[in-house]
Structure 1
Amino acid sequence: MSPVLVLGEALVDEFHDGPVAGGAPFNVARSLAAFGAPVRFVSRIGADDVAGRLVLDSAARFGLAVGGIQRDAAHATGRVSVHEDAGGGHRFEIHADAAWDHLEAPPAADGCFVYFGSLAQRHAVSRAAIRAGVKHAAGPRLLDLNLRPGTDTPELAAESLMLADWVKINEDELDRLLSWFEPTLPALMARFALQRVVLTRGAAGYALYGDDGRLLASGEGVAQPAFVDSVGAGDSFTAVLLAGLSRGADVAATLALANRYAAMICGVRGPLPADPVVLAPWREALHALPMES
């Protein structure tokens, strides 16, 4: 399996019933570790605070190495207040000036798949570190374009897209990109030289597009009768995709598994199940995927 370098925030999501370790990159990295994929996670937390200890404890439970998690004596571990609505939706209040805003650039990593997002680029320091890490990596680069308040500008989106080979977005994010840059998906992909766009549609499923905007694969949504929340569903989808790519698995089969895994995550509190043992069947399913022909 090819290694996966994951860059970005590790933080604590504060729900009404208690804190849960989170952050899109951390969610992706923990799933990858649980799947047995070789992953290096680079982030930054407070040197010694309760939230940081929660992050480290969670990493240990999922078998994620913490050598790439930097400690910051001057800034606290990131926090997000999760405001939930009666329908199972949520709104994030992301608190400012966290440790992950002051990320230091990681050493160069050859031959890796690279995952990076836009939220961790909200501060100039972490933005420079993440872009240095992405530029120095020789492997394919996947951008998870989370357009959150404060990082939802055309400038940041364009600069991130120019660094990416693959992009994962949802329908709302696609609409914004089309309004900012080009009126069609093929034109958008050509403008930024994108190889693939993965479009997630929530309950409606997903679609994969090639570099000419041609539909390569798609699938319908998977029902979750015991829905709890959708926090981390997109991250879980991305984790399976990256794990499949790192193994050289068939992409269409990988996406179908990613879709089912994301639906399962909607049935647990937060971005991952509390007990990593729950993920064992998913690891087996991932390793049973057919290889790309």
Structure 2
Amino acid sequence: MTAHPVLVLGEALVDEFHDGAVAGGAPFNVARSLAALGAPVRFVSRIGLDDMAGRLLLDSASRYGLAVDDIQRDASHATGRVSVHEEGGGHRFEIHADAAWDHLAPPAPGDAGLVYFGSLAQRHVVSRSTLRALLKRSAGRRLLDLNLRAGADTPALAAESLMLADWVKLNEDELERLLAWFEPTLPALMARFALERVVLTRGASGYAFFGIRGQQIASGEGVDPPAFVDSVGAGDGFTAMLLAGLALGRDLDATLHLANRYAAMICGVRGPLPADPAALSPWREALHQLPAAEEGA
């Protein structure tokens, strides 16, 4: 079976913890995982022309095997930065404004079987226009990661993004906000925006997967990591494994189960990915050993 490439659109930035900086940004986390897991991926983003944060991101992409051909360089805007404030076992993000990824230019043309995009990358009119033009032209399945962060958490932006999506991944807090904004139930919400699937991540409680009429068609219990470090990037890990399974034509239920375990593993490392990419080799092997999806699934 021919693998379908995944086009990942959005921010690449540096997460600044109290004990050091690590590469981050939900799309960049997803793209690096996809590359390390052996799924075909094309990552479109923008960083500063030659700053320390940008060099850190390029180095990280290289270590995880992610091609950097579509990471644009910006001579006028610096690479994105986020201050991560850890509070009571969780974390709060302070996302600095007017970064290079806010000024994304149209990339070279290319086909994709799957397209990943988020809401945060649409906070600025330039990147918002670029992403939406790409999404409207795309023939591939479009998965929205509804990342409701400050500056990209309005009902209007959420609605416009949902109308461009086929599948949506969100957490319980984000679902609660959508139900308050638009419709009182998940089936009504999915019908309003013509959504095919919703992936709901529940943190320590696992996940649920909903079909076209809002019925739950799969779920999984939470998996405890050997030692909890932080939850940064856990949802991105889940999304990456799901996309990898879809791209490689793997059985959906088995892929979701593996994605749940992969997200738990991410909670046991500092930041969104293990420092040593070799730690992902067993997960790559597990993914490629999953059964193939049934014909037409």
Aligning the two structures, in what range does the TM-score lie when normalised by the shorter sequence?
A: over 0.9
1:128 CA drift (Å): 0.5
Given the alignment, which residue of 77, 80, 97 partners 2:79?
77
Identify the residue that residue 199 of structure 1 maps to in structure 2.
Answer: 200
Residue 154 of structure 2 corresponds to 153
Whole-angstrom distance in 2 between the partners of 1:243 and 1:38: 8
Contact kept in structure 2, 1:9 and 1:100, CA below 8 Å: yes
8 A Cα contact 1:108 1:137, kept in partner: no
User: Structure 1 regions of 5+ residues with no counterpart?
Assistant: none
Deviations 1:69-122 (A, max 9, x none): 00000000000000012x321000000000000001223432420000000100
Structure 2 residue 43 is matched with structure 1 residue 41:
yes
8 Å contact from structure 1 (residues 109, 136) kept in 2: no
Partner of 1:268: 269
Cα distance in 1 for partners of 2:62, 2:6 equals 18
Paired residue for 1:21?
23
Could you tell me whether the CA contact under 8 Å between 1:9 and 1:26 is conserved in 2? yes
Taking the aligned partners of 1:59 and 1:229, their CA distance within structure 2 comes to 22
Partner SS, residue 127 of structure 2: helix
Specify the code of the residue in structure 2 equivalent to 1:220: E
In the alignment, the residues of structure 1 paired with residue 44 and residue 58 of structure 2 have an alpha-carbon distance, to the nearest angstrom, of: 13
Equivalent-residue separation in structure 2 for 1:183 and 1:18 (angstroms)? 42
Residue 282 of structure 1 aligns to a residue in which SS? helix
Q: CA deviation at 1:134?
A: 1.3
Q: CA offsets per residue over residues 155-196 of structure 1, 9 Å max, x none?
A: 000000000000000001001101111111111001111000
Q: What SS class does the counterpart of residue 162 from structure 1 fall into?
A: helix
Runs of 4+ in 1 over 4 A off after TM superposition: none
SS for the counterpart of 1:71 is: strand
1:216, CA displacement in angstroms?
0.8
Could you list the runs of 5+ residues in structure 2 that have no partner in the other structure?
none
Distance 2:284 2:89 in 1: 27
Q: Which residue type is aligned with residue 231 of structure 1?
A: V
Contact 1:195 1:211 in 2 (8 A): yes
Secondary structure at 2:164 match in 1: coil
2:7/2:112 contact within 8 Å kept: no
Q: Number of aligned pairs? A: 292
Distance 1:111 1:89 in 2: 35
Q: Which whole-Å deviations, capped at 9, do the CAs of 1:38-75 have from their partners, x for residues lacking one?
A: 10000000000000000000000000000000000000
How far residue 253 of structure 1 moved from its aligned partner, in angstroms, is: 0.8
Please name the residue that 1:122 is paired with. Answer: 123
Amino acid at match of 1:218: S
Tell me if structure 2 keeps the 8 A contact 1:41–1:68. yes
Q: Cα distance, 1:133 vs. partner? A: 1.5
Kindly indicate whether residue 237 of structure 2 is the aligned counterpart of residue 236 of structure 1.
yes
Match of 1:132 in 2: 133
CA distance in 1, matches of 2:17, 2:291: 39
Match of 2:145 in 1: 144
Distance in structure 2 (CA, Å) of the matches to 1:250 and 1:214? 19
Distance 1:143 1:106 in 2: 19
- Pairwise mapping of residues 269-284 of structure 1 onto structure 2 (< 5 A)? 269-284=270-285
Q: Distance in 1 between matches of 2:112 and 2:171?
A: 28
Mapped contact 1:109–1:137 kept (Cα < 8 A): no
Matched letter for residue 57 of structure 2: V
In the TM superposition, residue 137 of structure 1 has moved relative to its aligned partner by 1.5
Question: Does structure 2 retain, via aligned residues, the 8 Å contact 1:109–1:138?
Answer: no
Q: CA deviation at 1:225?
A: 3.5
Distance 1:66 1:111, change over 3 A: closer
Cα deviation for residue 23 of structure 1 reads: 0.2
The answer (yes or no) to whether the contact 1:47–1:76 under 8 Å persists in 2 is: yes
Partner residue, 1:96: 97
Q: Offset of 1:250 from its aligned partner? A: 1.1
Q: CA deviation digits over 1:5-35, x for unaligned, max 9?
A: 0000000000000000000000000000001
Partner Cα distance (2:181, 2:106) in 1: 30
The match for 2:4 is 2
Structure 1 distance, partners of 2:145, 2:180, is 19
